[in-house]
């Protein structure tokens, strides 16, 4: 009785393995490891590497694009400020030029006015001199004729005639000056 | 009543190790053998289909495969071994985890309904491989004496206490590890399956065969418990696969670690 129980217990002791199960377990497992190592892991790892590369590439590209955009912005800003400076400079220049032109024009106009006034003065002076000249001559002739008629004698002596006329004119001028004052 | 109760007990055969000793299907081939080979075929088939056309933008199958693969690769292998050396051991750990996982879940799947690792031989085999592997890589890296020094002499300990520590560390790190690894897996699967058999067979005995209608409700309770135990088992089955693989990875990581 006890021997059969022992035998049964020995046979059914679950801790005692079947050797063929150990061998099968190890062999099948090693085959599975080999297959996974050979066919599964490389594919996954390749996909991971590609994914990493793609993401890194994308990030690099994005960074480059950002850099480019920043550079472009800086360039535009620089150009804009340059343009502003340029505009300010041109405005300033225009203002200066305008002022200069105005000044020049003014000076020119003044010169012109001066010139016109001077010319007028000269003309007036000339006309006055001419008038005086002609008046002087007419007065001489008139007074000579008058004197000859009054005195009744012909004053043929040129020298005396002239002296008489000049004396008369000096007197005339002196009296006209005195009346003007 | 007492005589009836005694007859009830006499007629009911509680499940035991004999229930795990299934008759061969043909020749010497038994059910766990077939299941075990089938699991390897299933695992490789699924992974092969998932990874065959692995691309940057994954298909659904690839996504699922990557999810499973990454769990072992990152959460178990890389975290335990370190990012420098772990890739060498990823195939081993992946095969280990999914082989144990699938064979454990056989215990819950209808018609399969047998956790392969409740036969201790499979657990012994895998534990032996793990033992060879982690000692092998340790010796390859540190040399024979260096490796045993690493495993037996903990850093920061000196003096006579070493007489006590060194044999203890050697025992626990070199001798006991494979045994606990194998027994933990085997015993969990064995006990879990036994529990399930007990509740289901006991329940059906109480409902149909006890000859006493009053026992029937108790039998129904036993069935409900069988369902509850199944859910518990589902958790245990995953955990055992995880623990076996994680410990293997940690043993490898420890064997490769630099001396502290």
Least confident of A114-128, B79-93, B210-224: B210-224
pLDDT band of B142, cuts 50, 70, 90: very high
CA angle at residue A30 from A24 to A33, to 5 degrees? 140
Contact B237, B98 (CB under 8 A): no
Q: Does position A178 have pLDDT exceeding 60, yes or no?
A: no
Q: Which pLDDT does position A172 carry in this prediction? A: 83
Q: How many residues does chain A have?
A: 181
Asked if the C-beta of B18 comes within 8 angstroms of chain A's C-beta atoms, the answer is yes
- Judged by a CB distance cut-off of 8 A, whether residue A170 touches chain B is no
Amino acid A39: pLDDT: 92
Do the Cβ atoms of A18 and B119 come within 8 Å? yes
Most confident of A50-59, A81-90, B17-26: A81-90
What average pLDDT does chain B have?
89
The Cα of B47 is separated from the nearest Cα of chain A by a number of Å equal to: 6
The pLDDT of residue B6 is above 90: no
Residue among B91, B96, B125 minimizing CB distance to A41: B91
Q: Which of A13, A35, A47 sits opposite B56 (nearest CB)?
A: A47
Contact, B96 vs B244, CB < 8 A? yes
Q: Is the dihedral of CA B25, B29, B30, B36 positive or negative?
A: negative
pLDDT(A168) > 80: yes
pLDDT class for A143, splitting at 50, 70, 90? Answer: confident
Q: Is the pLDDT of residue B241 over 90?
A: yes
CB pairs under 8 A between A and B: 122
Contact present, B124 and A17 (Cβ < 8 Å)? yes
- Chain A, window 33-52: residues with a beta carbon less than 8 angstroms from a chain B beta carbon: 33-37, 39-41, 43-47, 50-51
pLDDT in tens, A70-112: 999 999 999 999 999 999 999 999 999 999 999 999 999 999 9
pTM, two decimal places: 0.70
pLDDT score recorded for residue A10: 45
Residue B27, chain A, CB below 8 Å: the answer is no
**Quick one: CA dihedral B157, B160, B161, B163, positive or negative?**
positive
Q: Which element (helix H / strand E) includes A50?
A: helix A41-151
- ipTM of predicted assembly, 2 dp: 0.88
When comparing pLDDT for B71 and A10, which is higher?
B71
Q: Would the pLDDT of A3 be above 70?
A: no
Six-digit token string for A173: 């001028």
pLDDT in tens, B42-79: 999 999 999 888 888 888 889 999 999 999 999 999 99
Q: Does A149 touch chain B (CB under 8 A)?
A: no
Residue A155: is its pLDDT beyond 90? no
Of B102, B245, B44, the closest CA to residue A41 belongs to B44
**Residue A154 binned pLDDT confidence (cut-offs 50, 70, 90):** low
Residue B252: predicted pLDDT: 94
Q: Is the pLDDT of residue A9 over 60?
A: no
- On chain A, the residues whose CB falls within 8 A of the CB of B48 are 35, 39-40
Q: Considering only residues A66 and A157, tell me which one the structure prediction assigns the higher pLDDT.
A: A66
**Where does residue A89 rank: exposed (0-12), middle (13-18), buried (19+ CB within 10 A)?**
exposed
Which of A23, A44, A54 is closest, CB to CB, to B66? A44
**If DSSP codes are grouped into helix, strand and coil, which group holds residue B26?**
strand
The Cα B16–Cα B197 span in angstroms is 9
Q: How far apart are CA A90 and CA A84, in angstroms?
A: 10
Res B136: pLDDT: 95
Chain A residues in contact with B36 (beta carbon < 8 A): 24-25, 28
With a cut of 50, say whether residue B4 has pLDDT above it: no
Q: What does the pLDDT read at residue B259?
A: 63
């Amino acid at each position: 009785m006890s021997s059969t129980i022992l035998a049964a217990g020995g046979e059914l002791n679950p801790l005692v393995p079947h050797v063929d199960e150990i061998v099968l377990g190890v062999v099948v497992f090693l085959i599975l490891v080999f297959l996974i190592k050979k066919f599964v892991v490389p594919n996954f790892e390749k996909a991971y590497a590609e994914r990493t590369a793609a993401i890194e590439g994308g990030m690099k590209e994005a960074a480059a694009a950002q850099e480019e955009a920043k550079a472009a912005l800086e360039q535009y800003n620089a150009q804009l400020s340059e343009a502003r400076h340029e505009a300010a400079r041109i405005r300033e220049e225009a203002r200066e030029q305008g002022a200069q032109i105005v000044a020049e024009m003014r000076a020119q106009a003044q010169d012109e006015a001066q010139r016109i006034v001077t010319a007028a003065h000269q003309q007036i002076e000339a006309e006055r001199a001419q008038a005086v000249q002609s008046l002087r001559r007419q007065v001489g002739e008139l007074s000579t004729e008058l004197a000859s008629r009054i005195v009744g004698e012909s004053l043929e002596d040129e020298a005396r005639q002239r002296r008489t006329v000049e004396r008369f004119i000096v007197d005339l001028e002196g009296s006209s000056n005195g009346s003007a004052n | 009543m007492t005589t009836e109760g005694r007859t009830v007990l006499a007629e009911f055969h509680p499940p035991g190790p004999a229930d795990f000793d299934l008759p061969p299907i043909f020749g010497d081939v038994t059910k766990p053998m077939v299941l075990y080979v089938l699991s390897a075929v299933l695992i490789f088939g699924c992974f092969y289909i998932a990874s065959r056309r692995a691309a940057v933008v994954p298909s659904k199958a690839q996504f699922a495969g990557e999810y499973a693969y990454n769990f072992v690769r990152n959460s178990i292998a890389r975290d335990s071994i370190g990012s420098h050396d772990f890739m060498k051991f990823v195939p081993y750990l992946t095969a280990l985890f999914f082989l144990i996982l699938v064979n454990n879940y056989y215990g819950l799947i209808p018609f399969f309904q047998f956790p392969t690792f409740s036969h201790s031989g499979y657990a012994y085999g895998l534990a032996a491989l793990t033992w060879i592997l982690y000692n092998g890589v340790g010796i390859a890296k540190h040399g024979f004496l260096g490796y045993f020094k690493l495993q037996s002499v903990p850093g920061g300990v000196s003096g006579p206490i070493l007489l006590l520590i060194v044999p203890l560390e050697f025992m626990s790190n070199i001798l006991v590890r494979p045994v606990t690894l194998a027994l933990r897996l085997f015993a969990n699967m064995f006990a879990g399956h036994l529990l399930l058999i007990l509740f289901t067979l006991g329940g059906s005995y109480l409902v149909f065969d006890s000859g006493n209608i009053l026992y029937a409700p108790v039998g129904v309770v036993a069935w409900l418990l069988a369902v509850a135990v199944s859910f518990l088992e589902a958790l245990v089955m995953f955990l055992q696969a995880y623990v076996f693989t994680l410990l293997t990875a940690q043993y490898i990581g420890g064997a490769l670690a630099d001396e502290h």
